Amino acid sequence: MHSHRATFATTAIACLVTLAGCGEPGDSAVNSASVGNFNAPTATTDATTGEGSRAYAMYCVGCHGSDGDGNGPAARFLRPRPRNFQRANFKFSSTRAGQLPMDEDLSRTITEGLKGTAMSGWKLLPPHTVTALVEHIKTFSTKWDGQARAIALPQDNDPYRTTPDKTQAIARGERIYHGYAACWMCHPSYISASAINRHLVALENPASDTFRDHLHQSVATPNTEGEVLFAPDFRRDFVRAGEDVASLYRSIAAGITGTAMPMWIDSMDVPKANASGQLVTPGDLWAMAYYVQSLIQQRPDRITADLSNQYTPRDRPQRILAPGETPTPPPQEPSAPTEEFLEDDEEETPQPSNSDHQTNHAAENGS
Ligand code: HEC
Ligand code: HEC
Nearest ligand 1 atom to alpha carbon 116: 18
**182 shares its domain with 106:** no
**105 shares its domain with 172:** no
**34 shares its domain with 111:** yes
Contact criterion met (CB below 8 Å) for 121 and 113: yes
Domain stops at, among 144, 162, 197: 144
Q: Which residues contact 250 (CB under 8 A, 6 or more apart)?
A: 92, 93, 94, 153, 155, 241
**7 shares its domain with 113:** yes
Domain stops at, among 144, 170, 186: 144
d(CA 139, CA 43): 10
**48 shares its domain with 109:** yes
Number of structural domains found in the chain: 2
**137 shares its domain with 158:** no
Give tens-digit pLDDT for 108-160: 999 999 999 999 999 999 999 999 999 999 999 999 997 777 899 999 999 99
**91 shares its domain with 180:** no
- Which residues does ligand 1 sit against, CB inside 6 Å? 6, 10, 59-60, 62-64, 74, 78, 80, 82-83, 90-92, 106, 109-110, 114, 117-119, 122, 133, 137, 240
Q: How far is the CA of 362 from the centre of ligand 1 (A)?
A: 34
Nearest CA owner, ligand 1 atom 5: 60
Return the pLDDT at 284. 98
d(CA 40, CA 195): 60
- Average pLDDT by consecutive 10-residue portion of the chain (367 residues)? 41 37 34 37 53 96 97 94 96 93 97 96 96 96 85 95 97 98 97 97 96 94 91 93 97 96 96 94 98 91 54 48 54 50 44 42 39
Return the pLDDT at 251. 97
Domain stops at, among 119, 144, 169: 144
Nearest CA owner, ligand 2 atom 13: 231
Domain with 82 in it: 2-144
**159 shares its domain with 225:** yes
Nearest CA owner, ligand 1 atom 39: 60
**284 shares its domain with 318:** yes
pTM tops 0.85? no
**7 shares its domain with 102:** yes
Nearest CA owner, ligand 1 atom 30: 110
Tally the residues of the chain: 367
Nearest CA owner, ligand 2 atom 2: 186
**350 shares its domain with 231:** yes
**205 shares its domain with 254:** yes
CATH number of the domain that 64 lies in?
1.10.760
